Amino acid sequence: MAKTPTRKVTKVARTGGGRTKRGQTSWFFPTLLTVVVVLGTFLIVFSRNQRQPDTSSPRVGADHWHSAIGFYFCDASTGQAAFAPSLADNGRDPLGIHSHGDGVVHTHPFSSTSAGRNAQLRHFFDALDVTVDENQVRLPGQDARRNGDDCGDQNGEVQVKVWDTRSPTDPGRLIEGSPGNLRLGNNQLITVAFVPDGADIPKPPSEAQLDNLSDVPGATTSVPSTVDPAATTTEPTTTTVTPTSAP
Q: Decide if pLDDT at 223 tops 60.
A: no
Residue 123 lies in a domain: yes
Residue 176 lies in a domain: yes
Residue 198 lies in a domain: yes
- Give me the pLDDT at residue 219, please: 44
Residue 60 lies in a domain: no
- Give me the pLDDT at residue 231, please: 35
Residue 128 lies in a domain: yes
Q: Is 6 exposed, middle or buried (0-12, 13-18, 19+ CB in 10 A)?
A: exposed
**Which structural domain, as residue segments, surrounds residue 117?**
65-209+233-240
What digits encode the pLDDT tens for the residues 123-177? Answer: 999 999 999 999 999 999 999 999 999 999 999 999 999 999 999 999 999 999 9
Q: Name the amino acid, one letter, at 220.
A: T
Which of the pair, 216 or 1, is modelled with greater confidence?
216
pLDDT level of residue 13 (50, 70, 90 thresholds):
low
Residue 103 lies in a domain: yes
CA torsion sign for 220, 225, 231, 236 is positive
- Give me the pLDDT at residue 26, please: 66
- pLDDT average, residue stretch 75-84: 96
What digits encode the pLDDT tens for the residues 172-205? Answer: 999 999 999 999 999 999 999 999 999 999 999 9
- Give me the pLDDT at residue 200, please: 97
Q: How many domains does the chain have?
A: 1
Q: Decide if pLDDT at 89 tops 90.
A: no
Question: Which is nearest to 71 in space by CA: 244, 243, 236, 185?
Answer: 236
What digits encode the pLDDT tens for the residues 105-126? Answer: 999 888 888 888 899 999 999 9
**Cα(139)–Cα(217) distance, integer angstroms:** 32
> Hey, what's the torsion of the CAs at 209, 215, 220, 223, to 10 degrees?
80
Residue 3 lies in a domain: no
Which of the pair, 102 or 17, is modelled with greater confidence?
102
Pairing mode, if any, of strands 104-107 and 131-132? Answer: unpaired
Residues of the chain above pLDDT 90, percent: 50
Q: Which residues contact 184 (CB under 8 A, 6 or more apart)?
A: 58, 65, 67, 97, 105, 107, 119, 120, 121, 124
pLDDT level of residue 49 (50, 70, 90 thresholds):
very low
Residues of the chain above pLDDT 70, percent: 68
Question: Which is nearest to 74 in space by CA: 238, 194, 201?
Answer: 194
The 3-state secondary structure of the chain, one letter per residue: CCCCCHHHHHHHHHCCCCCCCCCCCCCHHHHHHHHHHHHHHHHHHHHHHHHCCCCCCCCCCCCCEEEEEEEEEECCCCCEEEECCCCECCCCCCCCEECECCCEEEECCCCHHHCHHHCEHHHHHHHCCCEECCCEEECCCCCCEECCCEECCEEEEEEEEEECCCCCCCCCEECCCCHHHCECCCCEEEEEEEEECCECCCCCHHHHHHHCCCCCCCCCCCCCCCCCHHHHCCCCCEEECCECCCC
Residue 27 lies in a domain: no
